[in-house]
């Protein structure tokens, strides 16, 4: 029998005991003093929870393209020709309706409305409005669902981004990707199940990120996102020290393994067996990760599809190609951050640069997945933590203005994974300020995404501090059936 496989088996089973004891909660625990323990065999072949997925999944993995800073929904998709008519006019009180503003603009005396300083085109068969600076995304309009009625309660970055990625504004909760890793596990034993990549925007100062955004919170740390970085060491501590080659490392591990085996025979702790197998996986990761990162095998046509930035390590375009390579390798949650979308001022200059960073690569990712027949089983989600205001932050001039944070409505698009193709959901008022039809709370979208992964969002829980915690919060998130085909 293959010893690694054997170790793996033992580990999976060991974790079941751990889960049964630690996670199932009062009901199971109440009986633990009884002499026998109930334990059903784990049916999850990927090391996730037994019984998950709860039902047949549409999608096997998620690629989340997260634009941090709050991209302007008005300047991307939620454009209305009527805006040209009230450009420069004060935002009517009836629209603002006493709603709270950030203190960056709450002291402003005037709130002049700004129509986008860009041209828009109707794209796709359903003729949805797309900014001319996003021609490639426009070209996949028929493949995506655009939700124009996303909303959140948080109005500043730190709480808003924590909210959308963990389901609550309070700190300490696991990120979306950690929940997926915890629930579904991963078919790939040589790569982490939750991978994060970060790129800088070229259009503006970059808002801060926090490792908590990919942290496992109260879940075991094996579910935390692993930040894959450009450069020589994509995973921290991946490289053997100078002077130690692969053969020497192999000999070291063999020696360690033999001694650990002795240890196991003396004390009989299954944890020792797990450790042996984890050292083996570390060894394999040392080659599987560089192999993943090596795009030299990609044909020129594919590199061209993602655009010229794809040749630059660390760019959003390169990360998109890597995301596809991860998807091919079965990584269940791939999380790309692109920074620089916080346009309080100078929006007309900064926004197109940001769009240029992401337009071709994001569209290429969808096209590439589609041509490989992988789009149906992959969810691609694209958006930020909130949108921006119709009124100008700071002075509105002929060529310049800013926009403040706006969480009452914003736009996110989703491709693949059973979401409708060529569809637009939800509607806002003329000022793109309030939702007038089909609101989708950020936790509703997360619940819907989980459903496509075969997960009932109310049943993927973890007992912590007396509560069955879940990704979608306590306020009763609901799946939005209209979004999926």
Partner 1 sequence: MSLSRTILASTLISLLFDPLAAEELPKTVQFNRDIRPILSNNCFLCHGPDKGRRKANLRLDVEEEAKKEVIIPGKPEESELWARITSTDKDESMPPPKTKKSLNAHQVALIKKWIEQGAKYEGHWAFTSPQMPALPKNINKWGYNPIDNFTLKQLEANGLTPSPEAAKEILIRRATFDLTGLPPTLQEIDAFLNDKSPKAYESVVDRLLASKSFAERMTLHWMDVARYGDSSVHHADGPRTMWPWRDWVIDAYHTNKSFKDFATEQLAGDLIPNASNDQKIATGFNRNHGTTDEGGLIIEEYRVEYVVDRVKTTGNVFLGLSIECAQCHSHKYDPISQKEYYQFFAFFNNNSDSGKQTRGGNAPPMLEVVSDEKLARIQAAEIKLKEAEKKISEYKKTASTAFDKWAIEAAKKVGEQPEEPAGLYAHLPLDEFTDRKSTDLLNEKNEVKWEGKGRVVKGKFGSAFRVEGNGYINAQGIKPPEWNKPFSYGCWVKPDAGNASGAIFSKMNESNAYRGFDLWLQGGAPGTHIIHKWKENAVKVVGKTKAKAKQWSHIFVTYDGSGKASGTKIYLNGKLEAHNIEADGLNGSIQTPNDFRIGRRSNSAQANNIEIDDVRIYNRTLSASEVASLAGNDPIAPLLAIAPDKRDAKQTATLLNHYLNNIDKNFQKLTTEKSSAEKEKGEASKNKITTMVMGDLPKMRPTYLLERGHYEHPNKEEEIKANVPSFLPTMPKDAPANRLGLAQWLTQPDHPLTARVAVNRYWSLLFGRGIVSTVSDFGTQGEWPTHPELLDWLATDFANNDWNIKRTIKQMVMSATYRQSSKLNKDLYAKDPQNRLLSRGSRFRLQGEFIRDNALSVSGLLANKVGGPGVKPYQPPGLWNEVSLSGNVRFKQDAGENLYRKSMYTYWKRSAPAPSMTIFDAPTREKCMVERPRTNTPLQALVTLNDPQFTEASRNLAQRIIKEGGKSPKERVEYAYRLVTSRKPKPIILQILTSAYNEEHANFGKNTEAANKLLAIGESKRDESINAAEHAAWTIVASMLLNLDEVITRL
Segment 275 to 294, residues that bind partner 1, using CB under 8 A: 275-276, 278-279, 281-282, 285-286
Choosing from 241, 301, 373, 481, the residue that interacts with partner 1 (CB under 8 A) is: 241
Q: Does 243 bind partner 1 (CB under 8 A)?
A: yes
Q: Which two tokens stand for residue 304?
A: 């061209």
Distance CA 236, CA 360 (A): 30
What does the per-residue mask of binding to partner 1 show for 192-221, with x meaning CB under 8 A?
Answer: x-----x-x----xxxxxxxx--x--xxxx
**Shortest separation between residue 70's beta carbon and partner 1, angstroms:** 11
| Segment contacting partner 1 by CB under 8 A, of 81-89, 120-128, 257-265, 305-313 | 257-265
Residue 105 vs 131, nearer CB to partner 1:
105
Q: CB of residue 130 vs partner 1: minimum separation in angstroms?
A: 29
Contact 376, 60 (CB under 8 A): no
When the beta carbons of 20 and 76 are compared against partner 1, the nearer one is 20
Phi, psi of 92 (to 5 degrees): -65, 140
Alpha carbon of residue 441 to chain centroid:
16
Task: Convert residues 167-196 into a mask of x (bound to partner 1 by CB under 8 A) and - (unbound).
Answer: ---xxx-------------------x----
> Shortest gap between Cβ of 331 and partner 1 (angstroms)?
15
DSSP, residue by residue, 63-127 = EEEEETT---HHHHT---TTHHHHTTSBPPHHHHTT----TTTTT-S--BB---SS-EEEETTTT
**Any contact of residue 313 with partner 1 (CB under 8 A)?**
no
**By CB under 8 A, is residue 82 in contact with partner 1?**
no
What's the rounded Cα separation, in Å, for the pair 152 and 440?
A: 9
Exactly one of 45, 94, 266, 296 binds partner 1 (CB under 8 A); that residue is: 266
CB of 240 vs partner 1, minimal distance in Å: 6
How far is C-alpha 286 from the geometric centre of its chain's CA atoms? 25
Q: Which residues of 371-403 are buried (b: 16+ CB within 10 A; e: fewer)?
A: eeebbebbbbbbbbbbbbbbbbbbebeeebbbb
The yes or no reply on residue 415 touching partner 1 (CB under 8 A) is no
Q: By CB under 8 A, is residue 119 in contact with partner 1? A: no
- Residue 26 beta carbon to partner 1: minimum distance, rounded to whole angstroms: 3
First vs last C-alpha separation in the chain: 45
Burial of 16 (0-12, 13-18, 19+ CB in 10 A): middle
Q: Among residues 80, 121, 249, 370, which is the contact residue for partner 1, using CB under 8 A? A: 249
Residue 10: how many other CB atoms lie within 10 Å? 15
27 touching partner 1, by CB under 8 A:
yes
- Rule CB under 8 A: say whether 36 interacts with partner 1: yes
CA distance 15 to 11: 6
Would you count residue 118 as binding partner 1 (CB under 8 A)? no
260 binds partner 1 (CB under 8 A): yes
CA atoms within 13 Å, Cβ hemisphere of 447: 20
Shortest distance in whole angstroms from residue 245 CB to partner 1: 7
For residues 56 and 465, which CB has a smaller minimum distance to partner 1 in the complex? 465
**Out of 56, 100, 297, 397, the residue judged to bind partner 1 by CB under 8 A:** 100
Binding residue (CB under 8 A) for partner 1 from 45, 107, 268, 299 = 268
Task: Determine, following the binding rule CB under 8 A, whether residue 43 of this chain makes contact with partner 1.
Answer: no
Told to check if 21 binds partner 1 by CB under 8 A, we report yes
In DSSP terms, 413 is beta-bridged to 146, 382
DSSP three-state, residue 391: strand
Nearer to partner 1 (CB atom), residue 21 or residue 82: 21
Nearer to partner 1, 40 or 125 (CB): 40
Binding-site residue total for partner 1 (CB under 8 A)?
Answer: 113
The minimum distance between CB 265 and partner 1, in angstroms, equals: 7
The 10 Å CB-count burial string (b at 16+, else e) for 117-137 is bbebeebbeeebbbbebbebb
Nearer to partner 1, 139 or 202 (CB): 202
Contact between 269 and partner 1 by CB under 8 A: the answer reads yes
Q: Which is nearer to partner 1, 13 or 370 (CB)?
A: 13
d(CA 404, CA 399): 17
Count the Cβ atoms, other than its own, within 10 Å of residue 430: 16
d(CA 69, CA 207): 6
CB nearer to partner 1: give 170 or 371: 170
Q: Say whether residue 95 binds partner 1 (CB under 8 A).
A: no
């Amino acid at each position: 029998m293959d010893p690694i496989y054997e170790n793996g088996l033992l580990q999976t089973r060991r974790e079941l005991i751990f889960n049964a004891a630690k996670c199932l909660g009062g009901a199971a625990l109440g009986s633990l003093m009884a002499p026998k323990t109930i334990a059903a065999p784990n049916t999850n072949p990927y090391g996730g929870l037994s019984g998950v997925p709860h039902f047949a999944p549409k999608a096997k993995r998620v690629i989340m393209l997260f634009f941090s800073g709050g991209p302007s929904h008005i300047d991307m998709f939620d454009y209305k020709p009527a805006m040209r008519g009230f450009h420069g006019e004060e935002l009517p009180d009836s629209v603002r309706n006493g709603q709270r503003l950030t203190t960056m603009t709450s002291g402003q005396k005037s709130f002049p409305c700004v129509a986008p300083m860009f041209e828009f085109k109707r794209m796709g068969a359903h003729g949805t409005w797309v900014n001319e600076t996003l021609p490639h995304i426009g070209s996949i309009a028929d493949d995506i669902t655009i939700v124009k009625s996303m909303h959140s309660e948080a109005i500043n970055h730190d709480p808003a981004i924590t909210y959308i990625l963990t389901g609550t504004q309070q700190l300490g909760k696991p990120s979306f990707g950690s929940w997926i890793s915890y629930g579904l596990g991963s078919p790939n034993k040589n790569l982490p199940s939750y991978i994060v990549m970060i790129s800088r925007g070229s259009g503006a100062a970059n808002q801060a990120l926090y490792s908590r955004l990919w942290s496992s919170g109260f879940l075991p740390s094996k579910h935390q996102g692993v930040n894959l970085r450009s450069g020589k060491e994509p995973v921290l501590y991946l490289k053997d020290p100078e002077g130690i080659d692969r053969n020497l490392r192999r000999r070291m591990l063999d020696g360690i393994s033999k001694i650990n085996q002795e240890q196991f025979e003396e004390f009989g702790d299954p944890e020792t067996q797990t450790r042996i197998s984890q050292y083996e996986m570390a060894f394999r990761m040392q080659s599987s990760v560089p192999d993943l990162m090596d795009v030299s095998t990609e044909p020129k046509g594919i590199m061209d599809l993602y655009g010229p930035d794809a040749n630059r390590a660390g760019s959003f375009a390169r990360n998109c190609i890597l995301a596809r390579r991860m998807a091919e390798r079965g990584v269940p949650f791939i999380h790309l951050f692109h920074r620089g979308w916080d346009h309080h001022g100078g929006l007309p200059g900064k926004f197109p640069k940001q769009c240029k960073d992401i337009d071709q690569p994001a569209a290429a990712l969808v096209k590439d997945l589609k041509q490989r027949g992988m789009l149906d089983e992959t969810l691609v989600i694209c958006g930020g933590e909130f949108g921006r205001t119709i009124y100008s932050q700071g002075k509105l001039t002929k060529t310049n203005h800013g926009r403040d944070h706006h969480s009452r409505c914003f736009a996110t698009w989703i491709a693949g994974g059973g979401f409708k193709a060529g569809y637009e959901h939800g509607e806002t008022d003329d000022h793109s300020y309030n939702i007038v039809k089909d609101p989708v709370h950020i936790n509703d979208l997360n619940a819907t995404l989980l459903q496509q992964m075969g997960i009932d969002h109310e049943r993927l829980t973890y007992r912590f501090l007396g509560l069955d915690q879940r990704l979608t919060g306590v306020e009763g998130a609901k799946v939005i059936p209209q979004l999926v085909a």
